[in-house]
């Protein structure tokens, strides 16, 4: 009897502890939810964004579950509760579209799915990390394109006070102090780049970096009150180790897709090998924000507008100068002094060379200035001739490509307005020559413009030469792959104008041919700059007058002097 009574008491104690523990868990979750709600971000999107944070059920409900290396799906109707957790080679392929079309984006836009943000709160002593995870149906960035997209922003709370934030950006991110972040009360502002969904601290960021992200606060704004905030720890799909998007049917497709960033991302617990989920290690490894860099980004973001304003101001100054010149000395019979070509003489040759130089400079903008190309012939894969992997020109700036199985695949670009700078400079040259009567003054303008045409190519060559200063081998650990990247870079740096190298990879039959050097546009721009310099020298040597400046009458001179004295 005593035994039964004692057993009954023990059961009561166990049940009491069980329910108390359950209440404790509920209390912890409630506290975590409260703190997540307190600091919930405000999201700003660029005007042409097509996807917004969505509940992952949209992706799961429209996907087949595959395993890399298997042609047929493992499941045609996967659910939140039955995703495999035994391996990381599974992936959820959205059957509505592919990485090569807008099927997923178009379907998403037709549905009214609302907005969902997932939160995760980590406690470590006096530190609390609040994570906000966003899932997007499709990633259509300038750097890569893939199904599904997981991004995250994180806030560090120390002794109850927010001190730092961390924003995910592609394979890394950026951290900033609490004071550096734009906020509405305790709610941080997150500026999301178009397509790639990388997160930035300012609406004008993204212009610096190979991804060339397009960011802005000119589109949809999603306030913290407009989305559902869901705690991640209670989600049954959280342990799914596979990828959230197409990743390639065969092993070969999978390996190429990984390199090109075309595979779906791993989920929150497994992104970046789990370092993002652990919070502490990932956050501390990020580059800190810099206030001076914010200013540079602001200038670059508004570069075209600033450039146009400055150009208009300079044009107004030039036009005023032309007006003054017309009043004082006249503009001469041909107005633009470049057109004083009359016979076989030094000044005429100088002007002819200048006109030819201007035409060649304009033509150079439409041709590549610098190229690095490759021709790959290895077992199982070869390119159809040379493929440009780096191209620099006056119209498109800097472009990077990868020689994929289906053809060159863009990796990113940096839009530098070379054509705008050079084109406006040539227009200034023509304006500045209006009404010049002396060839020596015109020659000086030719000289300065010719030197400026040489500068872009000189800068490119200096950058190529300086690449040897970067320790590529230690950064890429390339020796393990049988390719000494450092030696390849040294070869390019040693002969930046033109060169060629054959590369073999340990354990792989075949070779890679690498060509590099100045393109047609680069040589043409150099040639045009040299022509203008020669033209300037000839005009200075001619040291003649194109026309006789008009003489202001003595009466006009006296009237002007009297007016000045009165003033």
**Strand intervals (E) in 459-543:** 498-503, 510-518
Please check the confidence at residue 165 and state whether its pLDDT lies above 90.
yes
Does residue 27 carry a pLDDT above 50?
no
- For residue 11, pLDDT over 50 is answered with no
Q: Is the pLDDT of residue 475 over 70?
A: no
Both tokens assigned to 232: 């991640």
Residue 5 within any structural domain of the chain: no
Q: Per the domain annotation, does 554 fall within a domain?
A: no
Decide: 497 and 479 in contact? Cβ < 8 Å.
no
- 442 and 504 inside one domain: yes
Q: Residue 353 is part of which domain span?
A: 329-542
Residue predicted with more confidence, 179 or 420: 179
**Is pLDDT at 7 greater than 60 in this prediction?**
no
Whether 95 is in a domain gets the answer yes
Same-domain check for residues 382 and 295 = no
Which tops the pLDDT comparison, 529 or 283? Answer: 529
Token pair 């009237």 is found at 559
Q: What is the mean pLDDT of residues 265-280?
A: 88
> Do residues 253 and 387 share a domain?
no
Give yes or no for residue 258 having a pLDDT over 70.
yes
- Distance in angstroms between the alpha carbons of the first and the last residue of the chain: 122
Q: Is residue 306 part of a domain?
A: no
Same domain, 181 and 271: yes
Domain boundary (301, 321, 350) is at 301
Residue bearing tokens 């502490």: 280
Cα gap 398→379, rounded to integer Å: 31
Burial letters for 216-255: b for 16+ Cβ neighbours within 10 Å, e otherwise?
bbeeeebebeebebbebeebebbebbbbbbbbbbeeebbe
Contact 62/96 with Cβ under 8 angstroms? yes
- Collapse the DSSP code of 375 into the 3-class scheme (helix H, G, I; strand E, B; otherwise coil) and give the result: strand
- In the chain, the number of structural domains is 2
Q: Are 191 and 222 in contact (CB under 8 A)?
A: no
* pLDDT band of 26, cuts 50, 70, 90: very low
The candidate with the shortest Cα–Cα distance to 194, out of 209, 211, 179, 180, is 211
d(CA 105, CA 261): 18
Question: Does 347 lie in the same domain as 259?
Answer: no
Cα distance between residue 306 and residue 129, in whole Å: 40
Residue 532 included in any domain: yes
User: Of the ranges 65-79, 119-133, 185-199, 492-506, which one carries the lowest mean pLDDT score?
Assistant: 492-506
Between 369 and 551, residue with greater pLDDT = 369
User: Tell me: the pLDDT tens digits for 292-347?
Assistant: 989 988 988 888 889 889 989 988 998 898 898 888 888 888 899 999 999 889 99
Residue 419 included in any domain: yes
Statement: residue 14 has pLDDT above 60: no
Do 335 and 283 lie in a common domain? no
In a domain, 309, yes or no: no
Q: Which residue has the higher pLDDT, 234 or 442?
A: 442
Joined together, the tokens standing for residue 508 give: 């792989």
> Can you give the pLDDT at residue 477?
43
> What is the average pLDDT score of the chain?
85
Higher pLDDT: 369 or 27? It is 369
Residues 381, 259 share a domain: no
Same domain, 419 and 296: no
DSSP character string of 386-420:
-EEEEEEETTTEEEEEEEETTEEEEEEEE---HHH
Q: Average pLDDT for residues 469-496, to the nearest whole number?
A: 67
Q: Exposed, middle or buried, 527 (CB in 10 Å: 0-12/13-18/19+)? A: middle
Which distant-in-sequence residues (6+ apart) come within 8 Å of 101 by Cβ?
A: none
**Ramachandran area for residue 287 (φ above 0: left; ψ -120 to 50: alpha; else beta):** beta
Cα–Cα distance measured from residue 462 to residue 466, given in angstroms and rounded to the nearest whole number: 6
- Contact criterion met (CB below 8 Å) for 40 and 188: no
In this structure, are 354 and 483 located in the same domain? yes
Predicted pLDDT of residue 507: 65
Q: Does the residue 20 lie in any domain?
A: no
**Is the domain of 246 the same as that of 350?**
no
Same domain, 361 and 231: no
On the question of pLDDT at 111 being above 80, the answer is yes
Q: Give the pLDDT confidence score for residue 480 in this predicted structure.
A: 44
Q: What residues contact residue 421 under an 8 Å CB cut-off, 6+ apart? A: 307
- Give the β-pairing of 498-503 and 42-45: unpaired
Paired sense of beta strands 397-404 and 387-393, if any: antiparallel
Do 344 and 270 lie in a common domain?
no
Over residues 19-28, the mean pLDDT reads 44
């Amino acid at each position: 009897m005593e035994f039964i009574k004692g057993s009954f008491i023990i059961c009561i104690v166990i049940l009491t502890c069980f329910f108390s523990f359950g209440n404790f868990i509920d209390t912890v979750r409630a506290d975590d939810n409260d703190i997540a709600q307190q600091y919930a971000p405000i999201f700003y999107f660029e005007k042409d964004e097509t996807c917004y944070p969505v509940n992952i059920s949209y992706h799961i409900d429209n996907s087949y579950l595959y395993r890399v290396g298997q042609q047929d799906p493992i499941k045609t109707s996967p659910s939140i509760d039955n995703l495999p957790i035994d391996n990381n080679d599974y992936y959820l392929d959205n059957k509505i579209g592919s990485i090569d079309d807008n099927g997923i984006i178009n379907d998403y836009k037709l549905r009214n799915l609302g907005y969902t943000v997932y939160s995760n709160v980590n406690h470590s002593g006096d530190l609390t990390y609040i994570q906000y995870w966003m899932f997007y149906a499709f990633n259509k960035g300038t750097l890569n394109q893939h199904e599904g997209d997981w991004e995250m922003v994180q806030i560090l709370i120390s002794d109850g006070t927010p001190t730092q934030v961390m924003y995910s950006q592609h394979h890394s991110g950026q951290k900033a102090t609490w004071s550096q972040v734009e906020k509405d009360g305790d709610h941080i502002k997150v500026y999301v780049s178009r397509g790639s969904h990388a997160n930035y601290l300012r609406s004008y960021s993204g212009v610096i970096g190979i991804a060339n992200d397009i960011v802005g606060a000119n589109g949809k704004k999603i306030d913290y009150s407009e989305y559902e905030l869901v705690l991640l720890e209670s989600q049954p799909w959280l342990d799914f180790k596979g990828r959230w998007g197409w990743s390639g049917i065969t092993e070969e497709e999978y390996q190429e897709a990984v390199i090109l960033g075309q595979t779906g991302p791993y989920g929150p617990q497994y992104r970046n090998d789990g370092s993002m989920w652990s919070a502490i290690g990932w956050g501390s490894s990020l580059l800190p924000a810099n206030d001076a860099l914010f200013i540079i980004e602001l200038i670059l973001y508004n570069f075209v507008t600033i450039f146009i304003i400055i150009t208009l101001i300079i044009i107004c100054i030039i036009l005023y100068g032309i007006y003054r010149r017309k009043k004082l000395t006249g503009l001469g019979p041909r107005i633009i002094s470049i057109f004083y070509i009359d016979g076989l003489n030094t000044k005429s040759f100088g002007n002819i060379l200048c006109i030819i130089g201007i035409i060649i400079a304009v033509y150079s903008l439409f041709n590549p200035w610098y190229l690095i190309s490759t021709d790959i012939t290895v077992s199982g894969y070869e390119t159809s001739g040379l493929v440009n992997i780096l191209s620099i020109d006056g119209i498109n700036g800097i472009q990077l490509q990868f020689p994929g199985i289906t053809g060159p695949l863009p990796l990113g670009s940096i839009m530098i307005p070379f054509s705008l700078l050079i084109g406006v400079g040539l227009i200034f040259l023509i304006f500045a020559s209006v009404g010049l009567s002396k060839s020596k003054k015109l020659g000086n303008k030719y000289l300065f413009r010719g030197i400026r045409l040489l500068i872009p190519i000189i800068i490119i060559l200096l950058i190529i030469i300086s690449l040897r200063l970067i320790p590529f081998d230690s950064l890429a650990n390339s020796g393990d792959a049988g390719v000494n990247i450092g030696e390849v870079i040294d070869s390019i740096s040693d002969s930046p104008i033109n060169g060629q190298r054959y590369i073999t990879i340990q354990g792989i039959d075949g070779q890679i041919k690498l060509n590099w050097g100045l393109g047609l546009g680069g040589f043409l721009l150099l040639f045009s700059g040299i022509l203008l310099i020669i033209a300037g020298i000839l005009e200075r040597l001619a040291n003649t007058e194109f026309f006789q400046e008009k003489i202001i009458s003595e009466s006009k001179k006296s009237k002007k002097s009297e007016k000045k004295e009165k003033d």
